[in-house]
A and B are shown apart, each in its own frame.
Chain A
Amino acid sequence: MEEKTIVSIHNLVKRYGDVLALDHLDLEIKRGEIYGLLGPNGSGKTTAINCLLALLGYDKGSIRVFGENMEPDSYESKRRIGVVMQNVAVFEELTVRENIDYFCSLYVKDKKRRRQLVEEAVRFTGLEDHLKKYPKKLSGGLLRRLNIACGIAHRPELILMDEPTVAVDPQSRNHILEGIKKLNEQGSTIIYTSHYMEEVEKICTRISIMDRGRILATGTKEELKAMIGTGETITVETGGMTGEQVEEVRLLPGVVSADCQEGVLRVQCTQGAGNLTGLLHRLEEADIPFGRVWSQPPTLNDVFLEITGKRLRDRKEEEEG
């Protein structure tokens, strides 16, 4: 019987000297998910991934992948995992095709099967026109695609992607995100870490927000948005407002914050009905002319900031994390 839970991390503790990198971390990832792991710098994402891949030892807890304890010699589990590193991990001395073939050969011995898999990975990442090029001749976006091709060519069941779109142009990023969705449709479970909220929001079926080595919240994007107090953000184009008028808006029921810059009033409200009508009624009462009005539901960015805090992290604190 196929296991439903692919990755199970329980009570994981990892210390670097006095620094607690993972603080009793619990994580469960089910087959078929695109699981987003979000967190500020130093939150412990990469440490968690490294422990999961048995690249790092840990002080306490357990990690099970495909129902087996994950150890450095868990070669059968490793055979079913693909990794796309944050930094491009290829041989600069080999061509695009040679790189994909080489890394695929670590998993697949049969030449015929491998050739087929390499062709698929090349098609999948759109590298058909660059097969004979060396990595140094590729643009940043193409390099990232090569990095992905090397990680997924052997058709792994579980793919770990650690910020695979860093420093990638929008076209390539879109190509990569579509590819990840396609991989998931083909049956791969994906763990995806990123700083880009819109990416995670776009592709992930379940998301965990991590900070200081702990999971602070887990759920679908809708569930996460429902967890926070902040609701919609209403934007109104006005002819301009005085400070007193903005302050009056701030005092309206359901308004969390209000700010007017260059005639554009931005009001953040709590969740609930009647925020928009209440605001427009108040503007009419105060005889403030207004033009276009639009309302935005809360984004994952709002969720992230509310959960992890808006305060800028101290650099030293980040480095320690």
Chain B
Amino acid sequence: MTVFRGFIKLALRQLHMLLLYVAVFVTIAVIVQLSLREEGTDTFEMTSLPVAVEDRDGGAAAEGLKEYLGQIHRVTEWEGDLTGLQEKMFYRDIYYLVRIPENFEAACLAGQEKLEVTKIPGTTSAYYVDSQISAWLREMKAMLAAGYGTQEACALVLQAQSGAGSVRMLDESGYGGEPAPHAFLFQYLPYMVLSILCYGAAFIMIAFRREEVRRRLLVSPVPRLRQNLGLMAGYLVLGAVVWVISLILPVTLYRGDFLSDGNLPYYMANVTALVLVSLSIAYVVSMCVKRAETVSGVVNVVTLGMCFLCGVFVSMDVMAAGVKRAAAFLPVYWYEAVNGILSEQASLTASQRTEVLQGLGLQLLFAAAIFGVGMAVSRYRETD
């Protein structure tokens, strides 16, 4: 109990550091979440691009094509040279150029010649406009084949194309197709939890493991086992405090949204697993760091390294396959994997539930393995 009391006393001395981390974390999480929300995709709108048209025909069909493109895109007439076009495309002032040849109706619509276009290779915008032009040409050919005149056919195609289809976003997350608002907070959570626990534990254990203090404790009438149990209890209390903070934050910031989330128990389980993993990492770090001056460096390498590799700061979607494979050997990766499923699915299917449970189980295995390493380091240190 005495050693536990000492642990708590020393932990309270680090309170300012804990508050600082929480404040920084909340600020960043909220700012990122708000900025992403502004450019959200909860409503559907067709993308409009700057498209240039070089009309060498001037006929009714050419006018029909231009009118059709103008319905979707920002169409401008192009009369410049190739160098000017390349420059405009480089700076994305123009995404696509359509050259309507002379005798367009006879050459292109009759299928004798292909429409000449210039586009930015390999871009979605190129495919996007390609498909629209193809659709127009296909429908025009059908209309002309059906015996309509050019102007009539153009009007009918335009009418048919202008009827905007009803688009409804697939809402699997329960938040209009967007990830849950608290998802960002949980995404960044490992950084806060790891940092607080590693810093806190390292500073406390350095104080307890200082040679002279350790000797004073060893010559005291408090049995060694009770001293170690006191330290373990201190670790658990520290972890419990961080666990509570981790769950109070989303409740405070998102209230009903979070509390009514069907995945709430899984979020809680995931945070519990994360805290246990972080405690075990903190234990190893505190066993390895000898001097207070080196704590900051070691903790930064461990927490930032793990957070960058495991998709805390940068989404795993943009990472190379090799990085993902390597990250799978780190526990935070599995936390983020579980968090990813929970934030995108309002209710889990059986296979998703299995994935979530696997992720939680793997984190617990990591926690046990890392704690084992910590015990081995501790034993080595004692006999050293």
Contact = CB atoms under 8 A, between A and B. Distances in A.
Interface of A: 53-55, 72-73, 75-76, 78-79, 81, 83, 85, 87-94, 98, 102-103, 105-107, 150-151
B354 interface: no
Interface in B272-287: none
A115 to B, nearest CB: 15
Given A55-B218, A73-B223, A107-B220, A91 B2 contact: no
B207 interface: yes
Interface in B227-267: none
Q: Which of B5, B222, B224 has the most CB of A within 10 A?
A: B222
A83 B223 contact: no
26 contacts: A53-B218, A54-B219, A55-B215, A55-B218, A55-B219, A75-B221, A75-B222, A76-B221, A78-B220, A83-B215, A83-B219, A87-B211, A87-B212, A89-B210, A91-B207, A93-B13, A93-B207, A94-B13, A102-B2, A102-B5, A103-B216, A105-B5, A106-B222, A107-B220, A107-B221, A151-B216
Given A73-B223, A76-B221, A105-B5, A93 B216 contact: no
Contacts, number: 62
B220 A106 contact: yes
A106 B2 contact: yes
Contacts of B5: 102, 105
Nearest to B216: A89
Contacts of A85: 212, 215-216
Contacts of B207: 91-93
A313 B207 CA distance: 36
B6 interface: yes
Interface residues of B, number: 22
B156 interface: no
Nearest to A92: B207
Contact of B213 (A53, A55, A91): A91
Contacts of A73: 223
Nearest to B3: A106
A315 B223 CA distance: 38
Given A106-B220, A150-B216, 12 more contacts: A76-B221, A79-B221, A83-B215, A88-B212, A89-B212, A89-B213, A89-B215, A89-B216, A91-B6, A94-B9, A106-B2, A107-B221
Nearest to B12: A93
A102 B210 CA distance: 16
Contacts of B221: 75-76, 78-79, 106-107
Nearest to A80: B221
A120 B263 CA distance: 59
Contacts of A94: 9-10, 13
B60 interface: no
A88 B203 CA distance: 19
B219 A53 contact: yes
